[in-house]
Amino acid sequence: MRKFCLCFLAFCLVACGCTPRTVISRSYDFTRMNRIGVMAFESSWSSMQGVENLFAKYLINAGFKVVERAQLESVLKEHNIAVSGYLSPETTRQIGQILGVDVLLLGEVTSYTPTRKELALVSTRRTESRPVYKQDVMQMPDGSYAAYTRQVGTQVSHSSQTAPQEYTINAQVGVIAKLVDVETGEVVWIGSDDAESSSALSAADYVARGLVKSFTKELAKLQK
């Protein structure tokens, strides 16, 4: 039943419209969470590998003890433990015992659109006003006549010009992350978010910062 609920919650995180979208376990004892092991995030895009390092940065900044990916993977390689996709409770327990971590941070880059340039035709409308003059004749005091020019109105003309203009479309990144207890394999927190920015790195950084901030806020509420 618990597995079903967690799967349903994960679906809701992706489907709902609020940002960031997170769910935290209210029954888990987070006082047991002293060290977090950060695993490599799954990604279908080679340019988005290493997003987990951004989460490690903000977790450390929030005061958590973190075993970062490179150290973790080195130890796992020494013990011939392959980590990819689904982690069984047996595997998480092994990792916890070897590395002395209490929970693992797992994640996936769910969407990625790089920054790109696009051309669009832009029409510019111009309006010009020109005075209209008329030649006239006036009689002078001495009885002679003299020609002069006077303005009798204004001529308005409209024109339009179409030209290509280049636009920059921001990069977009979506990430889902979760914390898994190493003893039970239970998902104790899960969150997803997406962001756009001038570069994929800054978009991913925004997501990591927002999700870690959301987690720490929820954790603080539970510990009151």
Q: Model confidence over 128-168: pLDDT tens digits?
A: 888 888 888 888 888 788 888 888 888 888 888 888 888 88
CA distance 25 to 67: 22
**Is the same domain home to 105 and 122?**
no
Say if residues 3 and 68 touch (Cβ distance below 8 Å).
no
Q: Which residue has the tokens 């950060």?
A: 38
Question: What is the residue type of 69?
Answer: R
**Is the same domain home to 107 and 215?**
yes
**Is the same domain home to 101 and 129?**
no
Is the pTM above the cut of 0.75? Answer: no
CA dihedral 198, 40, 43, 81 (to 10 degrees): 170
* pLDDT for res 44: 93
Say if residues 172 and 196 touch (Cβ distance below 8 Å).
yes
**Is the same domain home to 41 and 124?**
no
* pLDDT for res 83: 60
Task: Report how many domains make up the chain.
Answer: 2
Domain end position, chosen among 167, 187, 209? 167
**Is the same domain home to 29 and 69?**
yes
Domain enclosing residue 46, as ranges? 2-113+170-222
**Is the same domain home to 87 and 123?**
no
CA distance 132 to 113: 56
